[in-house]
Chain A
Amino acid sequence: MSLTVYIPGPLREFSEGQSQVEIADSPATLADALAALWIIFPALRDRMATEQGEIREHINIFIGDEDARFTGGLASPVTPDAEISIVPSITGGSDLRN
């Protein structure tokens, strides 16, 4: 039994082109699962999280169908067969700054 992390297209250049990564060592929390993912593919860390360890503002992490923001954030528990999705927010509108 392994946990699956789904990698969105823009990040696959940092996951050897893989759209999903299996993590077999039964992480207890989302933070543990992401730490395991980032050991396998280190370049994903800075794309997903700030240097303070927070998930970037416009990136959503889903555990199954639940947005992890509402299940405890990085401390959210994950099951050994959980499916974790990294989903970029739909953003747009004003981005011109000066």
Chain B
Amino acid sequence: MIGQLLGHYRVVAKIGEGGMGVVYRGHDEVLHRDVALKVVKKDAQLDLVGGKTLLHEARASSSLSHPNICAIYEVGETNGELYIAMELVEGNTLKVLIGETGLPAESVLRYGVQIASALGRAHDKGIVHRDLKSANIVVSADGLIKVLDFGIAKRIDSEVSEGTTLMIDSQPEPSSVSGTLTYMAPEVLRGEGADYHSDLWALGVVLYEAASGQLPFAGRTTFEVTSAIMREMPKALGPPVPAGLWAIIQRCLVKEPKQRYRRAGEVQAALEAVQSAVIVSRDPAVDRNAPSTTVLHGVQHVQVKKGDFLLLVGTTKGAFLLQSNAQRQRWKVGGPYFHGQGVYAMAYDGRLGQHRIWASTQSIWGTLLRSSDDFGKSWTNPQEAAIRFPSDSGVSLKNIWQISLGRTEEPSVLYCGVEPAALFESRDSGETWSLIRGLFDHPHRHRWMPGNGGLALHTILLDPRESRRMYVAISAGGVYRTEDGGDNWTAQNRGIRVTFMPNKYPEFGQCVHKIVMHPDRPERLFLQNHWGLYRSDDYGENWSDVANGVPSDFGFAMVMHPRKPDSVFIVPVESDEFRCTCDGRLRVYRTRNGGANWEALVRGLPQKGAHETVLRDAMTADSFDPAGIYFGTRSGKLFCSHDEGRSWQKILEGLPPVACVRSALVEDTSGPGLRPTSPGVSPSTTSSRASRRVTTNPRQTRR
């Protein structure tokens, strides 16, 4: 046969052989492309129900054009040889990839969506597969699914269909029971014939197999397998299989055909819904076909290792992780996480070996606090919002503006500043949160006024020496301080001017944009006001103007140098009317003497036509020496300086508007955590919370 012509196909090499036929690699002499040639054995043809039926169905299948369906080019007969010319797909069968342990959930979802899409196209054309199984689904090297043998597999033979591709590491069926039987729907076993419903059943079997490495209905004999299919429920799949995926599989495997999904498109939509939510991944190494960086529903992931440096970037349309090393010259971008949702606060918690990234997400579906322990590959998506106002408060959470870690001696403590202005505290590493009533019940609260961004508590500072002293900044309420851990709060705004009020120096009501403190000098605070730059040297009791030499004292962002208590960075903007950098020049200003004067840092920053805005949390520092400074703009650009602001580089552009930037140095991805990277924030400890990885677990009951 090798070297012969079948029609216009030259037979090149034998690929495989089954009971019913031989599969060759062929070459199309007309179109000059390689093909798979399935040549049905003459004696097998005699056993067929009818060669005409085979030809008819194969020709019908050849009308299917879909990226996930292996194309049938031609069905022909030459010198009594019945052959089918097909697309040559190189890769592994899904069966091989699944192995004994199954695939990570993200791969199951990624492949499942493609298989369902292929089934949907075929069903729309009136074609039923009849023998869908993991052995006739091929995954190409770039992760593309190809479903083989639509409409013909059952007619010919499964062994032949497996040979239509050039397969690597192909392996024999492990079970003595026919592979086809284990995918067969109850109604098919009852002799009612195969239709769309039975294809969806088979899809459920494939998904179950891919998620677990096990068949849902197995047995040592044909009788046992048949009995299991007809009567038994498959063993439940728990974490790390997402509850949503398990629910989809269950609905595919309902015994009564009409209670399954109505169309393959519904399965595809359901898989995509789970896919676009939290993806809980098992060991990625299990997926031998996956590229080193996993692409999932448009989300890019970064592989983080010890010594890596991260930037956490929250934008109005999602979050990103930027990964680099200590040189911080080359960056890989992970994300976008939380498509389309506002991420106004992020934080890194590396305490006691955890590597937890926190993010707040805001959308029309509410505001949630989310976290990832695997650098963004999966995120919690709690059933209930953990941060919520009590029912007697009469108010509802609008946004989370700040996530802060507790002190060193408070290893499980976290704080969140929210809108409407309030402070929440967690003492169990973020599992549960409570409203700090001392501040919420403050008599001033009803007279605080929302600023342009809403009534937000956006800044939280902890005095590292006095464990009961804490500051918060509220826009527009001003600075408040507690000396007793939150029970009582006093306004600390003496000397801070309010331009928009008749009384220019009220007790409270200031629109404070940011305050910073250096842990080595906690009595000194710097403040960027809605008009005004200030410093206090007495724990916020009195403030004095330090706007010496800045083009405008209006601005949002303010960052403390990680080691030098007199050194602070700001980005002035022109006015509250025109909240862009002055004169179209993007300039960071730095003081090195506590505000006695400020110097412009411009090298590498655009100085013409740069009408930029840096929002209040969109600038941060790292812990290197010399310190790195980073900021993002409302126009979606990200800049960094490795030399404390003397020179700048643009890391990235084209992001959605940047709302927050935080940095983290990953000390060890397996042992103790990282050193603190933000002044005023102390490292502490978190407990294990593996149990929180399950994101949804709706009740199975119906009423």
Q: A41-B698, A97-B454 known; A52 and B394 CB under 8 Å?
A: yes
Contact A95 B316 (CB under 8 A): yes
Q: A18-B270, A52-B394 known; A10 and B365 CB under 8 Å?
A: yes
Q: A52-B394, A91-B364 known; A42 and B657 CB under 8 Å?
A: no
B82 contacts A by Cβ under 8 Å:
no
B693 contacts A by Cβ under 8 Å:
no
List of B residues within 8 angstroms of A24 by Cβ: 702-703
**Besides A14-B696, A51-B388, 15 new A-B residue pairs in contact (Cβ under 8 A), listed by A number:** A14-B698, A16-B244, A17-B270, A17-B273, A18-B251, A18-B270, A25-B703, A40-B699, A43-B698, A50-B396, A51-B391, A51-B397, A56-B366, A96-B657, A98-B556
Residues of A52-98 contacting chain B, CB below 8 A = 52, 54, 56-59, 88-89, 91, 95-98
* Closest chain A residue to B272, Cβ basis: A9
B550 contacts A by Cβ under 8 Å:
no
Summarize B's interface: helix, strand, loop or mixed: loop
List of B residues within 8 angstroms of A51 by Cβ: 385, 388-391, 396-397
List of B residues within 8 angstroms of A18 by Cβ: 247, 251, 270
Q: A17-B248, A51-B391, A89-B364 known; A46 and B453 CB under 8 Å?
A: no
Sorted nearest first, the 7 A-B pairs with minimum C-beta distance are A17-B270, A16-B247, A50-B396, A97-B453, A58-B364, A43-B383, A13-B277
Contact B699 A42 (CB under 8 A): yes
Chain B: minimal CB distance from A11 (Å): 7
Contact A98 B453 (CB under 8 A): yes
Chain A: minimal CB distance from B233 (Å): 16
Contact A52 B396 (CB under 8 A): yes
Interface residue tally on B, bucketed by range:
35 or more
* Centre residue among A16, A59, A89 by max chain B CB count within 10 A: A16
Contact B251 A16 (CB under 8 A): yes
* Closest chain A residue to B317, Cβ basis: A95
Chain A: minimal CB distance from B344 (Å): 8
* Closest chain A residue to B262, Cβ basis: A19
Chain B: minimal CB distance from A47 (Å): 4
Residues of A6-30 contacting chain B, CB below 8 A = 9-19, 22-25
Contact A39 B699 (CB under 8 A): yes
B269 contacts A by Cβ under 8 Å:
yes
Interface residues, chain B, CB within 8 Å of chain A?
243-244, 247-248, 250-251, 266, 269-271, 273-274, 276-277, 316, 342, 344, 364-366, 368, 381-385, 388-391, 394-397, 399, 452-454, 513, 556, 579, 613, 615-616, 634, 657, 659, 695-696, 698-699, 701-703
List of A residues within 8 angstroms of B382 by Cβ: 43
List of A residues within 8 angstroms of B701 by Cβ: 40
Q: A40-B698, A88-B364 known; A17 and B244 CB under 8 Å?
A: yes
Contact B391 A52 (CB under 8 A): yes
Contact B556 A16 (CB under 8 A): no
Inter-chain CA distance A45–B454, complex, in Å, is 25
Inter-chain CA distance A30–B696, complex, in Å, is 24
A36 contacts B by Cβ under 8 Å:
yes
Contact A17 B251 (CB under 8 A): yes
Inter-chain CA distance A95–B273, complex, in Å, is 25
